[in-house]
Amino acid sequence: MTYIAAANRYEGMEYRRCGNSGLKLSAFSLGLWHNFGHVNNFENARNLLKTAFDHGITHFDLANNYGPPYGSAEANFGKILDLDFRPYRDELIISSKAGYDMWEGPYGNWGSKKYLVASLDQSLKRMNLDYVDIFYHHRPDPETPLEETMSALDLIVRQGKALYVGLSNYRPAEAAKAFKILKELGTPCLIHQPKYSMFERWVEDGLLDLLGQEGVGCIPFSPLAQGLLTDKYLGGIPEDSRVATSGKFLNESHITPEKIERVTKLNALAKQRGQKLAHMALSWLLKDKRVTSVLIGSSKPEQIVDSIKALQNTDFSVEEIGMINNILK
Protein backbone atom coordinates (compact mmCIF):
# COMPACT_ATOMS: atom_id res chain seq x y z
CA MET A 1 0.00 0.00 0.00
CA THR A 2 1.33 3.43 -0.93
CA TYR A 3 2.35 5.55 2.05
CA ILE A 4 0.63 8.93 2.21
CA ALA A 5 2.01 11.22 4.92
CA ALA A 6 -0.39 12.72 7.47
CA ALA A 7 -1.91 15.94 6.15
CA ASN A 8 -1.51 17.68 9.53
CA ARG A 9 2.10 16.57 10.05
CA TYR A 10 3.51 20.07 10.60
CA GLU A 11 0.92 21.25 13.11
CA GLY A 12 2.22 19.74 16.35
CA MET A 13 5.97 20.22 15.83
CA GLU A 14 8.19 23.19 16.64
CA TYR A 15 10.84 24.22 14.08
CA ARG A 16 13.98 26.02 15.20
CA ARG A 17 16.48 27.99 13.13
CA CYS A 18 19.85 26.25 12.97
CA GLY A 19 22.33 28.85 14.23
CA ASN A 20 22.61 31.79 11.82
CA SER A 21 21.67 29.71 8.78
CA GLY A 22 18.51 29.78 6.70
CA LEU A 23 17.71 26.20 7.73
CA LYS A 24 15.13 25.21 10.32
CA LEU A 25 15.08 21.77 11.96
CA SER A 26 12.28 19.99 13.76
CA ALA A 27 12.76 20.24 17.54
CA PHE A 28 13.17 16.46 17.52
CA SER A 29 15.20 14.50 14.98
CA LEU A 30 15.20 10.73 14.57
CA GLY A 31 18.56 8.99 14.95
CA LEU A 32 19.09 5.69 13.10
CA TRP A 33 21.99 4.56 15.30
CA HIS A 34 20.03 1.56 16.64
CA ASN A 35 17.08 -0.48 15.28
CA PHE A 36 17.72 0.11 11.55
CA GLY A 37 20.41 -2.49 10.77
CA HIS A 38 20.06 -5.80 8.95
CA VAL A 39 19.74 -7.51 12.36
CA ASN A 40 16.54 -5.52 13.03
CA ASN A 41 12.97 -5.85 11.79
CA PHE A 42 12.66 -4.00 8.47
CA GLU A 43 8.91 -3.32 8.73
CA ASN A 44 9.40 -1.88 12.21
CA ALA A 45 12.09 0.43 10.83
CA ARG A 46 9.64 1.59 8.13
CA ASN A 47 6.99 2.26 10.74
CA LEU A 48 9.41 4.24 12.91
CA LEU A 49 10.26 6.56 10.02
CA LYS A 50 6.62 6.97 8.94
CA THR A 51 5.52 7.73 12.49
CA ALA A 52 8.28 10.32 12.88
CA PHE A 53 7.41 12.11 9.63
CA ASP A 54 3.66 11.93 10.30
CA HIS A 55 4.36 13.85 13.52
CA GLY A 56 6.49 16.58 11.93
CA ILE A 57 9.99 15.14 12.39
CA THR A 58 11.77 16.08 9.18
CA HIS A 59 15.37 15.21 10.06
CA PHE A 60 16.71 11.64 9.82
CA ASP A 61 20.27 11.23 11.13
CA LEU A 62 22.59 8.43 9.97
CA ALA A 63 26.28 7.54 9.82
CA ASN A 64 28.33 5.29 7.55
CA ASN A 65 28.81 2.57 10.19
CA TYR A 66 25.33 2.46 11.73
CA GLY A 67 23.87 -1.04 11.70
CA PRO A 68 24.90 -3.66 12.52
CA PRO A 69 26.51 -4.63 10.24
CA TYR A 70 28.23 -1.41 9.18
CA GLY A 71 26.43 0.35 6.36
CA SER A 72 23.19 -1.53 6.82
CA ALA A 73 21.23 1.32 8.42
CA GLU A 74 21.96 3.45 5.34
CA ALA A 75 21.12 0.55 2.99
CA ASN A 76 17.79 -0.04 4.75
CA PHE A 77 17.06 3.67 4.85
CA GLY A 78 17.67 3.80 1.09
CA LYS A 79 15.13 1.02 0.54
CA ILE A 80 12.56 2.75 2.77
CA LEU A 81 13.21 6.01 0.92
CA ASP A 82 12.36 4.27 -2.36
CA LEU A 83 9.31 2.50 -0.92
CA ASP A 84 7.77 5.37 1.03
CA PHE A 85 9.57 8.71 1.02
CA ARG A 86 10.73 9.45 -2.52
CA PRO A 87 7.81 11.91 -3.10
CA TYR A 88 8.77 13.69 0.15
CA ARG A 89 12.54 13.97 -0.42
CA ASP A 90 12.45 17.77 -0.52
CA GLU A 91 10.64 17.88 2.83
CA LEU A 92 13.42 15.89 4.53
CA ILE A 93 16.79 16.69 6.04
CA ILE A 94 18.99 13.60 5.67
CA SER A 95 22.40 13.56 7.33
CA SER A 96 25.31 11.14 7.44
CA LYS A 97 28.78 11.06 9.00
CA ALA A 98 32.24 9.56 8.71
CA GLY A 99 35.05 9.47 11.23
CA TYR A 100 34.86 6.14 13.01
CA ASP A 101 36.01 2.75 11.70
CA MET A 102 34.19 1.71 8.54
CA TRP A 103 36.38 -0.60 6.43
CA GLU A 104 39.72 -2.39 6.69
CA GLY A 105 43.07 -0.73 6.04
CA PRO A 106 44.43 2.78 6.59
CA TYR A 107 41.78 4.63 4.53
CA GLY A 108 38.62 3.50 6.36
CA ASN A 109 38.82 5.56 9.55
CA TRP A 110 39.48 8.99 11.11
CA GLY A 111 39.68 12.21 9.07
CA SER A 112 41.74 12.12 5.88
CA LYS A 113 40.33 13.62 2.70
CA LYS A 114 40.64 10.16 1.10
CA TYR A 115 38.42 8.58 3.78
CA LEU A 116 35.77 11.29 4.00
CA VAL A 117 35.20 11.62 0.25
CA ALA A 118 35.20 7.85 -0.34
CA SER A 119 32.90 7.23 2.63
CA LEU A 120 30.31 9.76 1.49
CA ASP A 121 30.38 8.30 -2.03
CA GLN A 122 29.57 4.89 -0.51
CA SER A 123 26.83 6.37 1.69
CA LEU A 124 25.14 8.07 -1.27
CA LYS A 125 25.13 4.78 -3.20
CA ARG A 126 23.67 2.86 -0.24
CA MET A 127 20.89 5.44 0.22
CA ASN A 128 20.36 6.02 -3.51
CA LEU A 129 20.75 9.78 -3.06
CA ASP A 130 22.38 12.49 -5.16
CA TYR A 131 23.32 14.44 -2.02
CA VAL A 132 22.85 14.52 1.76
CA ASP A 133 21.59 17.66 3.42
CA ILE A 134 24.22 17.56 6.19
CA PHE A 135 27.53 15.70 6.25
CA TYR A 136 29.43 15.50 9.54
CA HIS A 137 32.95 14.71 10.53
CA HIS A 138 32.08 12.23 13.30
CA ARG A 139 35.07 12.81 15.61
CA PRO A 140 38.35 14.75 15.67
CA ASP A 141 41.41 13.04 14.23
CA PRO A 142 44.55 13.67 16.34
CA GLU A 143 46.90 12.81 13.45
CA THR A 144 45.37 14.40 10.33
CA PRO A 145 45.85 18.18 10.04
CA LEU A 146 42.57 19.96 10.79
CA GLU A 147 43.02 21.93 7.55
CA GLU A 148 42.89 18.69 5.52
CA THR A 149 39.73 17.43 7.23
CA MET A 150 37.94 20.78 6.91
CA SER A 151 39.03 21.20 3.27
CA ALA A 152 37.48 17.76 2.59
CA LEU A 153 34.15 18.99 4.03
CA ASP A 154 34.42 22.14 1.91
CA LEU A 155 35.18 20.06 -1.21
CA ILE A 156 32.18 17.81 -0.58
CA VAL A 157 29.84 20.83 -0.52
CA ARG A 158 31.45 22.29 -3.67
CA GLN A 159 30.98 18.93 -5.42
CA GLY A 160 27.26 19.09 -4.59
CA LYS A 161 27.38 15.93 -2.45
CA ALA A 162 26.22 17.78 0.69
CA LEU A 163 24.40 21.06 1.24
CA TYR A 164 25.82 21.75 4.70
CA VAL A 165 28.56 20.39 6.96
CA GLY A 166 28.71 19.69 10.66
CA LEU A 167 31.00 18.37 13.37
CA SER A 168 30.41 15.80 16.08
CA ASN A 169 32.26 15.11 19.35
CA TYR A 170 34.61 18.11 18.96
CA ARG A 171 35.67 19.82 22.20
CA PRO A 172 35.48 23.65 22.38
CA ALA A 173 39.11 24.43 21.42
CA GLU A 174 39.08 22.01 18.47
CA ALA A 175 35.66 23.23 17.36
CA ALA A 176 36.76 26.89 17.45
CA LYS A 177 39.73 26.14 15.16
CA ALA A 178 37.55 24.09 12.80
CA PHE A 179 34.88 26.83 12.61
CA LYS A 180 37.56 29.39 11.71
CA ILE A 181 39.01 27.22 8.91
CA LEU A 182 35.57 26.42 7.48
CA LYS A 183 34.53 30.07 7.54
CA GLU A 184 37.72 31.08 5.69
CA LEU A 185 37.08 28.34 3.10
CA GLY A 186 33.58 29.74 2.52
CA THR A 187 31.65 26.73 3.88
CA PRO A 188 30.68 27.69 7.44
CA CYS A 189 29.84 24.95 9.93
CA LEU A 190 26.06 24.54 10.20
CA ILE A 191 25.74 22.36 13.30
CA HIS A 192 27.56 20.51 16.06
CA GLN A 193 26.40 17.14 17.41
CA PRO A 194 27.66 16.48 20.96
CA LYS A 195 26.70 13.90 23.57
CA TYR A 196 24.59 15.98 25.97
CA SER A 197 22.11 15.09 28.68
CA MET A 198 21.45 15.79 32.34
CA PHE A 199 24.14 13.17 33.08
CA GLU A 200 26.64 14.38 30.43
CA ARG A 201 27.14 18.15 30.67
CA TRP A 202 30.64 18.83 29.32
CA VAL A 203 29.17 21.01 26.55
CA GLU A 204 28.32 23.61 29.20
CA ASP A 205 32.06 24.17 29.76
CA GLY A 206 32.50 26.47 26.77
CA LEU A 207 30.99 24.62 23.80
CA LEU A 208 27.43 25.96 24.05
CA ASP A 209 28.76 29.50 24.48
CA LEU A 210 30.99 29.04 21.42
CA LEU A 211 28.07 27.74 19.34
CA GLY A 212 25.97 30.73 20.38
CA GLN A 213 28.74 33.19 19.50
CA GLU A 214 29.54 31.54 16.16
CA GLY A 215 25.91 31.05 15.10
CA VAL A 216 26.28 27.26 14.87
CA GLY A 217 23.36 24.96 15.73
CA CYS A 218 23.49 22.28 18.42
CA ILE A 219 21.87 18.82 18.16
CA PRO A 220 22.51 16.67 21.26
CA PHE A 221 22.64 12.88 20.97
CA SER A 222 21.93 10.38 23.78
CA PRO A 223 19.57 12.89 25.47
CA LEU A 224 18.16 10.18 27.75
CA ALA A 225 21.61 8.73 28.58
CA GLN A 226 20.74 5.49 26.70
CA GLY A 227 17.52 5.16 28.71
CA LEU A 228 18.91 5.95 32.18
CA LEU A 229 16.94 9.22 32.25
CA THR A 230 13.61 7.40 32.15
CA ASP A 231 11.68 5.48 34.78
CA LYS A 232 12.71 2.22 33.04
CA TYR A 233 15.41 1.18 35.54
CA LEU A 234 13.80 2.35 38.79
CA GLY A 235 12.51 -1.16 39.55
CA GLY A 236 15.52 -3.14 38.26
CA ILE A 237 16.69 -4.06 34.73
CA PRO A 238 13.84 -5.03 32.35
CA GLU A 239 14.46 -8.07 30.12
CA ASP A 240 13.84 -6.09 26.90
CA SER A 241 16.03 -3.12 27.89
CA ARG A 242 19.20 -2.13 26.02
CA VAL A 243 21.27 -3.16 29.07
CA ALA A 244 19.83 -6.69 29.01
CA THR A 245 19.89 -7.20 25.23
CA SER A 246 22.98 -5.35 24.02
CA GLY A 247 25.21 -3.98 26.76
CA LYS A 248 27.70 -2.45 24.31
CA PHE A 249 26.99 1.23 25.06
CA LEU A 250 25.09 0.80 28.34
CA ASN A 251 25.62 -2.09 30.75
CA GLU A 252 24.93 -3.00 34.36
CA SER A 253 28.08 -1.23 35.58
CA HIS A 254 26.52 2.11 34.55
CA ILE A 255 23.44 1.52 36.71
CA THR A 256 24.95 2.27 40.11
CA PRO A 257 22.95 2.84 43.34
CA GLU A 258 24.08 6.50 43.21
CA LYS A 259 22.69 6.88 39.66
CA ILE A 260 19.40 5.25 40.64
CA GLU A 261 19.14 7.58 43.65
CA ARG A 262 19.54 10.60 41.35
CA VAL A 263 17.07 9.21 38.84
CA THR A 264 14.55 8.62 41.65
CA LYS A 265 14.84 12.27 42.78
CA LEU A 266 14.59 13.55 39.19
CA ASN A 267 11.55 11.34 38.65
CA ALA A 268 9.86 12.89 41.71
CA LEU A 269 10.54 16.40 40.36
CA ALA A 270 9.19 15.43 36.93
CA LYS A 271 5.96 14.25 38.58
CA GLN A 272 5.67 17.62 40.34
CA ARG A 273 5.92 19.26 36.88
CA GLY A 274 3.23 16.94 35.53
CA GLN A 275 5.73 15.16 33.29
CA LYS A 276 7.36 11.77 32.90
CA LEU A 277 11.09 11.79 33.66
CA ALA A 278 11.91 11.20 29.96
CA HIS A 279 9.80 14.21 28.98
CA MET A 280 11.53 16.40 31.58
CA ALA A 281 14.99 15.28 30.41
CA LEU A 282 14.12 16.22 26.81
CA SER A 283 12.43 19.49 27.86
CA TRP A 284 15.51 20.36 29.92
CA LEU A 285 17.65 20.29 26.75
CA LEU A 286 15.12 22.22 24.68
CA LYS A 287 14.84 25.03 27.26
CA ASP A 288 18.15 26.37 25.84
CA LYS A 289 17.48 28.20 22.58
CA ARG A 290 21.01 27.38 21.37
CA VAL A 291 19.80 23.77 21.09
CA THR A 292 18.29 23.48 17.61
CA SER A 293 17.02 19.91 17.77
CA VAL A 294 17.32 16.87 20.02
CA LEU A 295 18.19 13.47 18.53
CA ILE A 296 15.93 10.73 19.80
CA GLY A 297 16.25 7.01 19.17
CA SER A 298 13.36 4.61 19.22
CA SER A 299 12.56 0.92 18.98
CA LYS A 300 8.76 1.37 18.86
CA PRO A 301 6.62 3.93 16.99
CA GLU A 302 4.71 4.85 20.16
CA GLN A 303 7.98 5.95 21.80
CA ILE A 304 8.37 8.64 19.14
CA VAL A 305 4.85 9.95 19.70
CA ASP A 306 5.48 9.93 23.45
CA SER A 307 8.80 11.82 23.19
CA ILE A 308 7.17 14.68 21.28
CA LYS A 309 4.97 15.37 24.34
CA ALA A 310 8.06 16.95 25.91
CA LEU A 311 7.32 20.03 23.77
CA GLN A 312 4.26 20.73 25.90
CA ASN A 313 6.38 22.08 28.77
CA THR A 314 9.90 23.38 28.08
CA ASP A 315 9.75 26.18 30.69
CA PHE A 316 11.63 25.69 33.96
CA SER A 317 11.49 27.97 36.99
CA VAL A 318 14.72 29.16 38.61
CA GLU A 319 13.80 26.96 41.58
CA GLU A 320 13.41 23.86 39.37
CA ILE A 321 16.77 24.49 37.67
CA GLY A 322 18.36 24.81 41.11
CA MET A 323 16.77 21.56 42.30
CA ILE A 324 17.98 19.70 39.18
CA ASN A 325 21.53 21.05 39.61
CA ASN A 326 21.55 20.02 43.27
CA ILE A 327 20.42 16.50 42.41
CA LEU A 328 23.05 16.15 39.67
CA LYS A 329 26.08 17.73 41.37
- The neighbour count for residue 323, using CB atoms within 10 Å, is 17
Residue 242 has pLDDT above 60, yes or no: no
Residue 246 has pLDDT above 80, yes or no: no
Spatial distance between the Cα atoms of 185 and 265, rounded to a whole number of angstroms: 48
Residue 213 has pLDDT above 90, yes or no: yes
Residue whose C-alpha is closest to residue 207's, from 291, 322, 326: 291
Output the pLDDT for position 232. Answer: 84
pLDDT per residue as tens digits for the range 296-319: 999 999 999 999 999 999 999 999
Report the half-sphere exposure of 178 (CA within 13 A, side-chain side).
Answer: 34
Residue 114 has pLDDT above 80, yes or no: yes
Could you tell me which residues come within 8 angstroms of residue 109 by beta carbon, excluding any fewer than 6 positions away? 99, 100, 101, 102, 115
Output the pLDDT for position 250. Answer: 59
Output the pLDDT for position 241. Answer: 54
Could you tell me which residues come within 8 angstroms of residue 126 by beta carbon, excluding any fewer than 6 positions away? 71, 74, 75, 77, 78
Distances in whole angstroms, Cα of residue 157 to Cα of each of 109, 163, 250: 20, 6, 35
Spatial distance between the Cα atoms of 152 and 137, rounded to a whole number of angstroms: 10
Residue type for 279, please? H
Spatial distance between the Cα atoms of 232 and 264, rounded to a whole number of angstroms: 11
Mean residue pLDDT across the chain: 95
Residue 259 has pLDDT above 80, yes or no: yes
% residues pLDDT > 70 (the chain): 94
DSSP for 22-53 reads S-EEESEEEE-SSS-STTS-HHHHHHHHHHHH
Residue 216 has pLDDT above 60, yes or no: yes
Residue whose C-alpha is closest to residue 275's, from 324, 224, 225, 230: 230
Residue whose C-alpha is closest to residue 191's, from 14, 314, 16: 16
Residue 139 has pLDDT above 60, yes or no: yes
Output the pLDDT for position 111. Answer: 98
251 pLDDT band, cuts 50/70/90, is low
Spatial distance between the Cα atoms of 283 and 275, rounded to a whole number of angstroms: 10
Output the pLDDT for position 249. Answer: 58
Least confident window among 4-18, 203-217, 237-251, 301-315: 237-251
Q: Three-state DSSP class for 166?
A: strand
Alpha helices, DSSP H only, in the chain? Answer: 42-54, 72-80, 113-127, 146-158, 172-185, 207-214, 242-245, 257-272, 277-286, 301-308, 318-328
Spatial distance between the Cα atoms of 46 and 56, rounded to a whole number of angstroms: 16
Say if residues 175 and 192 touch (Cβ distance below 8 Å).
Answer: yes
Domains and CATH numbers, the chain: 15-233+277-312 (3.20.20.100)
Strand partners, 82: none
Residue 235 has pLDDT above 80, yes or no: no
